[in-house]
Amino acid sequence: MHLRPPELPFMGGTAATSPAGYDAAIFAAPHGTPYPEHDNRIHAGTAAALRNALRDDSAWIENWDFDFGGRLLGEKEFRLADLGDLETRPEDGPGNRMLIRECTKAILDAGAVPLMIGGDDSTPIPFIEAFASHAPLTILQIDAHIDWREERYGEHYGFSSTMRRASEMKHVDRIVQVGMRGIGSARRAEVDFAKAWGAQFVTSREVLDDGIAGAIAKIPDGARCLITVDCDALDSSVMPAVAYPTPGGLTYNHLTGLIQGVARKARIVGFDLIEFVPGRDESGMAAFTAARIVSNVIGTLASAYPAKV
């Protein structure tokens, strides 16, 4: 699958060359589909930064974790594979999309849950595409921006078009978007188009004022839900290590609460975390925060084990 093995597996995971025999498999997609003159190399070290952030905690894998009420991998031998990093290339959009689709599909075919560390917000497009035989799919996007552009700079698969491309996929039947605020790439036309399609918005202000219950209520009971998290959904005081920091965002507890709230009423069948920029993380705390978000997904899946995709 054109993967470089991880130097250090993600906390709780085993370095593996195949997802066969595992319940979930994590991999990195450093590059997606670039825009002209846009440097997507800023995300190349994301996966290594997140793995390294949990290096010390890995010695305490058997300890109680209060984020989800038990050990990270639960009590029932939940098995996590770390497949390493896809050999993506900064300027090869079509090739990168193919690698992401193939890797995600291989994980799904093995009966495991795919967990992807991006890359910019173009990497979820092929990730979502790989779920074509797993319809119907509900997408929960947690992001400061809605990403409904038809194209930007002539490119239709860039990071401003993720939800627009997802809306065109026959296996996607619902899109819920949480955390929007400030100025993004959307214009009135994109907002109107998204609403006409049926996308449901919950702004950051609504979450800050009313909590996460309203967002969770928009996820149908029993749905197969793919969660995509852009790190800029978090407030910039919590997560400065992003390409486009915006004040007024969600807290860590909002975000992990959304993940666990969805798991209580639906089935998490895939997850990605994107847009982390290691070069903007001077203290290392942002990498630890992002890594803990991924850990919350792993712990939530382990708590539900042996439920399958």
Q: Determine the average pLDDT of the residues in 211-220.
A: 98
**How many domains is the chain built from?**
1
Domain assignment of residue 10, given as a range: 3-304
Q: Determine the average pLDDT of the residues in 280-295.
A: 97
Mean predicted lDDT score pLDDT of the chain: 95
pLDDT digits (tens, 9 = 90+) for 131-146: 999 999 999 999 999 9
Flag whether 309 is in a domain.
no
Task: Retrieve residue 90's tokens.
Answer: 């900064």
pLDDT of residue 307: 57
Flag whether 194 is in a domain.
yes
Backbone angles phi, psi at 124, to 5 degrees: -70, -20
pLDDT of residue 185: 78
Backbone angles phi, psi at 164, to 5 degrees: -65, -45
Tell me the C-alpha distance between 120 and 40, whole Å: 7
pLDDT of residue 212: 98
Flag whether 69 is in a domain.
yes
CA distances, 224 to each of 216, 227, 305 (Å): 14, 10, 16
- Position 259 pLDDT exceeds 80: yes
pLDDT of residue 278: 97
Flag whether 249 is in a domain.
yes
Q: Please report, for the domain that includes residue 172, its CATH number.
A: 3.40.800.10
Flag whether 217 is in a domain.
yes
pLDDT digits (tens, 9 = 90+) for 67-78: 888 899 988 889
- Position 47 pLDDT exceeds 70: yes
pLDDT of residue 306: 61
Q: Sorting pLDDT into bands at 50, 70 and 90, what band is 309?
A: very low
Q: Determine the average pLDDT of the residues in 247-267.
A: 97
Question: CA angle, corner 268, sides to 114 and 89, nearest 5?
Answer: 30
Q: pTM of the prediction?
A: 0.97
Q: Based on the number of CB atoms within 10 Å of its own CB, is 188 exposed (0-12), middle (13-18) or buried (19 or more)?
A: exposed
Flag whether 70 is in a domain.
yes
pLDDT of residue 69: 86
